[in-house]
Amino acid sequence: MSGRRLVVEADGGARGNPGPAAYGAVVRDAATGEVLAEVAQTLGITTNNVAEYRGLIAGLEAAAGIDPQAVVEARLDSKLVVEQMSGRWKIKNSALQSLALEASRAMPRGHVTYRWVPRARNAHADRLLNAALDAADGESPAAARTTEELTEPSDPPSRLASWAPQLGVPTTLLLLRHGRTTMTAARQFSGSGFDGPALDEEGRLQAVRAAQSLIEAGAVAVVSSPMRRTVETAEIVARELKVPVQVDEGWRELDFGAWEGLTFPQVGDRFPTELAEWLGKPDATPPGGEPIDAMVARVAAARDRALAQFPGETVVVVTHSLPIRAIVRLSLDAPPQAMFRLQPAPASITELRVYADGTISLVGFSQVP
């Protein structure tokens, strides 16, 4: 080894999967951050995973051209490529096996380590690949596709979460219930029929602990229900993570109507028939409130908006008890009544990973920092 240290930042992407694809890669001096090389190229019609591997190979080859004996840290926002090249995930796809072998031969054995970074920290390589795709948009296919059109044979899709590493990079939703309020502590119904209480002192501390536990998650944004308690929680988390907050009305709590401010025993005493119906029918409605199935539909739509806006990223969603229960129930294909058997704690985190083929993995439920 020469003792020189280089950083390779690489990315690849397809507009459609498969679709028109390209890669971008940057080589930097590890000590100064100086850009030593930039490479980008279109790939024809292929997949995200193939494009990501091609970006890595191009970056490593560029680093080898600068100093073939250098020590290199390869930084990618593709967890699949990082885990496979690090040897922690098995590579079953034959096309990716060939690309991984090519990448391993680009530099001497033991000279390269791999590190996953959030997409926001891989912006230079991402910008290069998108510039290559944009430049190719107005050209003929023959002019734009300058390398072989390598497509990735796919295995039959699996719905098993245990096969998740073979399904590509998921979108991760970290569902964070808001911190405690006085109504939470009193176990009162606190829905979206009014703005609701602020976080109490313990609730603010809970939000800080949750934020600190999420620092290493690589979240690119915080999405929040519009309620006061969720917005306060979201702002605390976003400040710690240094990411923006956006509000989505779909994540608000159920409107409990006449039950707002009452405890469960009080509702049972005053509205015994309505409560029994509410617990047993998905379309039941608290007096003057919102039907459960309507809440489930709007929360599912909010989930789908987050998945569409942040594909392959990690997002913190600050919401409420029933929306979290609804999303978990839908993820598990459980019956509607299953929602009432789930109890996410205040400031707890429920982690879901959603893959491109629709496979959903429930990684953790109601984890309290």
Q: Output DSSP code: residue 109.
A: T
Residue 335 burial class via C-beta count within 10 angstroms: exposed 0-12, middle 13-18, buried 19 and up: exposed
**223, 248 contact by CB (below 8 A):** yes
Q: Are 253 and 153 in contact (CB under 8 A)?
A: no
CB 197 within 8 A of CB 233: no
Q: Which of 61, 253, 274, 290 is catalytic?
A: 253
Q: What is the β-pairing status of strands 219-224 and 314-319?
A: parallel
Q: Give yes or no: 124 in active site.
A: no
* Best CA proximity match to 209, nearest among 365, 327, 346: 346
> Which alpha helices (H) appear in 218-291, and where do they start and end?
228-241, 264-270, 272-280
Within 8 A by CB and 6+ apart from 216, the residues are none
| 66 CB neighbour count, 10 Å cutoff | 14
Residues 238 and 266 sit within 8 Å (Cβ to Cβ): no
CA dist., res. 343 & res. 45, Å (int): 46
Indicate if 320 belongs to the active site. no
Q: Which of 9, 111, 178, 313 is catalytic?
A: 178
- Residues assigned a catalytic role: 178, 253
